[in-house]
A and B are shown apart, each in its own frame.
Chain A
Amino acid sequence: MTLTNTRGMHRHAARLLVAAALLLPFGGAHAQEVQVMIDNFTFSPQELTVKVGDTVTWTNRDDIPHTVVSAGKFRSKALDTDNTFSFTFASAGDYKYFCSLHPHMTGMIKVE
């Protein structure tokens, strides 16, 4: 009996932990989907502020492929016209990124 009780408590504690883990980094219902467009070799908006847990989706609307690369953080494949790339930001910080094919194209996601 004692054993079973302890197990039950452990299970309960584990559930709480999982719930907390889900709530904390992703901000529950507040997580948002934010768009960045690539037009005329430019990321727009060039600088964007999001919350931890938000997902940013880049869409290439040029007739030339582009990439979205943040050193050591994320790296898309070459995006052909109308292709998209999404990344969910799990921790706060400044994420500078660029197009590895056209490095004069740069952008920044600030995650709070």
Chain B
Amino acid sequence: MSEHDHDEERGVSRRKVLECMTWAGSGVLWTIAGGVPRSMGLVEAARAAEAPGLSFLQISDSHVGFDKPANPNAIGTLEEAINKINAMDKKPSFMIHTGDITHLSKVAEFDNADKIISQAKLDVHYVPGEHDFLDEEIKLYKDRYGKGTKGAGWYSFDAGGVHFIGLVNVVDLKAGGLGNLGAEQLEWLEDDIKGTSKSTPIVVFAHIPLWTVYPQWGWGTEDGGRALEYLKGFGSVTVLNGHIHQVMQKVEGNVTFHTARSTAFPQPAPGAAPSPGPMKVEDAKLRSMLGVASINFKQGDERLAIIDTPLQA
């Protein structure tokens, strides 16, 4: 880690952001101050994690039911992730799950996922991935997690001074296109944030990245830009996604985009393989490519920090 010369005073260049993304070892912590991200040393990171304020967790892409060579025991690694969460010094306030809870939307998969995730004894706010809408009537996800949501399952809530918005961008996808929010959801979003003060930190979470990561693999959202347009006036916007099974971060003005690791299997870096399918790595390496993210927000400091923690360093 020390070979990476992380400047603590100046903003981190794009090149450095990419360097940081390659750590993949112990947790990387980003703080957002005035829209400029800074990486911090681990001591400072630990201090930030202990500070009072809101802290919540993101887990993603648990793909319960997946049993292919890239990870024959996806349910086992989900359990490891939950055990890791239970072992944390400071209990987070709640958890968000950014979709692909199951691999094939089977009842048993939803049951098993719930059995394990509930062991964290935290409230969980879900958004669906495309793998959660595969049952014939598309009702298993909605019956479990759709209560009090609009449309295909979008909603918002407030916690610790932050406004959270859960979006669905995995339905009604168009041939040749990317993820899709749709007119009805965008209209709802515009209306939802009307009463929210511009100084309120916003956290948007959805399955497929809202920013264009790699369109050749469908990694982006067709009308994601329209959603971000509505959020333009806000001082602090954090967009948390899954779907691509790897950590990626981009900062654009006051918007931080971040994707979390999967707890099930890694996927290749954009363009690094013939397809985005599950990537088989050495057994010893697998757990360094799976993990969870914790997000800390300190009231007054107006900053939001994201720590990606692999199952095994």
- On whether the beta carbons of B275 and A62 are closer than 8 Å, the reply is yes
Q: B residues within 8 A CB of A97? A: 175
Q: A residues within 8 A CB of B177? A: 103-104
Q: A residues within 8 A CB of B130? A: 101-102
CB within 8 Å of B: which residues of A? Answer: 40-42, 62-65, 71, 77-78, 80-81, 96-98, 100-104, 106
Q: B residues within 8 A CB of A103? A: 173-178, 218
Residues 135 to 164 of chain B near chain A (Cβ within 8 Å): 136
- On whether the beta carbons of A40 and B274 are closer than 8 Å, the reply is yes
Q: Considering the complex, give the chain A residue whose CB is closest to the CB of B222.
A: A103
Q: A residues within 8 A CB of B217? A: 41, 104
Chain B interface helix/strand/loop/mixed = loop
- On whether the beta carbons of B277 and A64 are closer than 8 Å, the reply is yes
Residues 167 to 191 of chain B near chain A (Cβ within 8 Å): 173-178
Query: What number of residue pairs across chains A and B have CB atoms under 8 A from each other?
Result: 56
Q: A residues within 8 A CB of B70? A: 63
- On whether the beta carbons of B175 and A96 are closer than 8 Å, the reply is yes
Q: Give the complex CA separation of A77 and B136 in angstroms.
A: 7
Q: A residues within 8 A CB of B175? A: 71, 96-98, 103, 106
Is residue B93 contacting chain A, with contact meaning CB distance below 8 A? Answer: no
Q: Considering the complex, give the chain A residue whose CB is closest to the CB of B214.
A: A104
Is residue B40 contacting chain A, with contact meaning CB distance below 8 A? Answer: no
- On whether the beta carbons of B131 and A63 are closer than 8 Å, the reply is no
30 contacting pairs across A/B (C-beta < 8 A): A40-B274, A40-B275, A40-B277, A41-B217, A41-B275, A63-B68, A64-B277, A65-B103, A65-B104, A77-B134, A77-B136, A78-B134, A80-B104, A81-B68, A98-B176, A101-B134, A101-B173, A102-B130, A102-B218, A103-B174, A103-B175, A103-B176, A103-B177, A103-B178, A104-B177, A104-B178, A104-B217, A104-B218, A106-B175, A106-B176
Residues 205 to 230 of chain B near chain A (Cβ within 8 Å): 215-218
Ranked 8 nearest A-B pairs via Cβ: A40-B275, A98-B175, A63-B68, A78-B134, A41-B275, A104-B218, A103-B173, A40-B274
